[in-house]
Structure 1
Amino acid sequence: MSGRNPAPRRSYGGRSAEERRAERRGRLLAAGLELFGTRGYAATSIERLCATASVSTRNFYEEFSGREELLLALHRDINERAADALATAYAEAAGADLPARVERAVRAFVTVTARDPRWARIAFVEVIGVSAGLEQHRLHWRARWEDTLVELAAEAAARDEAVDRDYRLTMIAIIGAVNNLVHHWSARGQDIPLDDITAELTALICSALGRQAPEDT
């Protein structure tokens, strides 16, 4: 070995190559959010994404294999943030009754996914029907949400707040209702207060978890 020190990593304007690449990726994600969330995925070209992000096409392909991978990254991001927010809110309300726990969880989910209509469009509209690979990704997240709601129902049953039964089909139906209601809100120009959306979804879930038959006397 020569014993020479390795050459320092080159930097430009005080930023390393890794920092500049992370910044470019961030600009591409922001451009994807804006264009996919307003114009739509099908109407957005890689050239327009690059122009909006002020990056070259070469830089784009250093980060993403194509538009689909960028859309997938955005969809994964919104779902991960929503899942974290819901779990945190539900845990913080652990000592409350069922309606309060559900309301906190629903509010956290709606705040993350629906506060910005661009995210709502990406989460519930643009991701559908793009490709078999992206559909598999979407269904993976749908199954995770299904499991989350089934666990919520099981906890309610353990607390004697709900009938102890299999709620999986019920939760699949509720997921469809959530997706459609948030999409409806987004498509109508957000003319319905998010508090109303939260209240409606909370009532729907609590009703589904309510006792299905009168108490034994």
Structure 2
Amino acid sequence: MSPVRPDAPAPRTPTPRTHDDRAAPDGDRLRTDATVPAPARTDADQAHAGREHRALRRERLLATATELFTTRGYPATSVERICGTAHVPVRAFYEEFEGREALLIALHNEVARAGMEATLTVLSDPRLESAGTRERITELGRAYAAAVTGETAAARMAFVEVVGAGRAVEEQRLLWRGLWSGFLTAEAERAVARGEAPPRDYGLAMVALTGAVNELVAHWTRNSASLSRELLADELVHHTLATLGIAADDTTAAGHPPDEGN
């Protein structure tokens, strides 16, 4: 062992390299624990976040309005009450809706559209293309009833609170009633062409049927605790078949047995 000279400088103890330091190619030290700046948000990111925020705000307004309209009543519910309950500024409300009527129309549209989409989904089944009228109407009626009564509060708003709510709302109701009357008239003409319903002009009959359907659903919303959705659906089917002159059993009103597909 070589002796150490007393006047020799003390040997340097090498500094251990920690996980925080590493040599860079240019000889500088890089710290791996340095905070890496987050990437800047692009205009597209900001626009997407803005749309999401606005959609959530709109849904909150719709949900709050549904609750208030069905508990306090539409006439007694102001825009300020809706905004205060939803914790949304009044200014933001008017960015989404022109006013309280426009909000009610949007709510009514959601329920009405759900009913129409449910029936169109049923009709997209190839099996119903050749099905008899009784089977076809039964499936359509049940699908419609399930769709529009999925949420009792929404159904009550769409079938009760809209009545007498203003001119614009009434025009919207009449628009949907016209669509349904035309839809049902087409079903009646199909039944006549198949020899399953007596031939006649069903236009006015379907206007009356549409009004009856609306009133039946409105009655159900007031008494949903004691009336099942299944009972409502069966009554809607019965009324439709009766309007078409088709008996509830296996015989048509004309006294002829149904087609094999019925």
TM-score of the two chains, using structure 2 as the length reference: 0.73
CA contact (8 A) 1:90 1:104 kept: no
Provide the secondary structure at the position in 1 that maps to 2:129. Answer: coil
User: Residue 100 of structure 1: CA displacement?
Assistant: 1.3
Aligned to 2:57: 24
Matched residues in 2 for 1:98 and 1:11: separation?
52
Aligned to 2:178: 143
CA contact (8 A) 2:70 2:153 kept: yes
CA contact (8 A) 1:85 1:109 kept: yes
- Percent sequence identity is 41
User: Residue 147 of structure 1: CA displacement?
Assistant: 0.4
> How much is the aligned-residue C-alpha RMSD, in angstroms?
2.2
TM-score of the two chains, using structure 1 as the length reference: 0.87
The alignment status of 1:46 with 2:79, answered yes or no, reads: yes
Aligned to 1:159: 194
Gap regions ≥5 residues in structure 1: 1-6
Aligned to 1:9: 43
The verdict on how the C-alpha distance between 1:91 and 1:16 changes in structure 2, with shifts beyond 3 A counting, is closer
The alignment status of 1:61 with 2:68, answered yes or no, reads: no
Matched residues in 2 for 1:28 and 1:192: separation?
30
Partner letter of residue 173 of structure 1? A
Provide the secondary structure at the position in 1 that maps to 2:43. Answer: coil
How do 1:76-155 and structure 2 match up within 5 A? 76-92=109-125, 93-155=128-190
How do 1:184-203 and structure 2 match up within 5 A? 184-203=219-238
Partner letter of residue 76 of structure 1? N
Q: Deviations over 1:28-85 (max 9, x none)?
A: 1111222223322112121221123221111111111111110011111211111111
The verdict on how the C-alpha distance between 1:214 and 1:51 changes in structure 2, with shifts beyond 3 A counting, is same
Count of aligned positions: 208
CA contact (8 A) 1:9 1:16 kept: no
Structure label with greater radius of gyration: 2
Aligned to 1:3: none
CA contact (8 A) 1:170 1:208 kept: yes
Partner letter of residue 9 of structure 1? D
CA contact (8 A) 2:101 2:168 kept: no
CA contact (8 A) 2:62 2:107 kept: yes
Matched residues in 1 for 2:236 and 2:44: separation?
53
**Structure with greater contact order relative to length (CA < 8 Å, sep ≥ 6):** 1
Segments of 4+ in structure 1 off by > 4 A? 211-215
Gap regions ≥5 residues in structure 2: 1-40, 247-252, 257-262
Provide the secondary structure at the position in 2 that maps to 1:16. Answer: helix
The verdict on how the C-alpha distance between 1:10 and 1:48 changes in structure 2, with shifts beyond 3 A counting, is farther
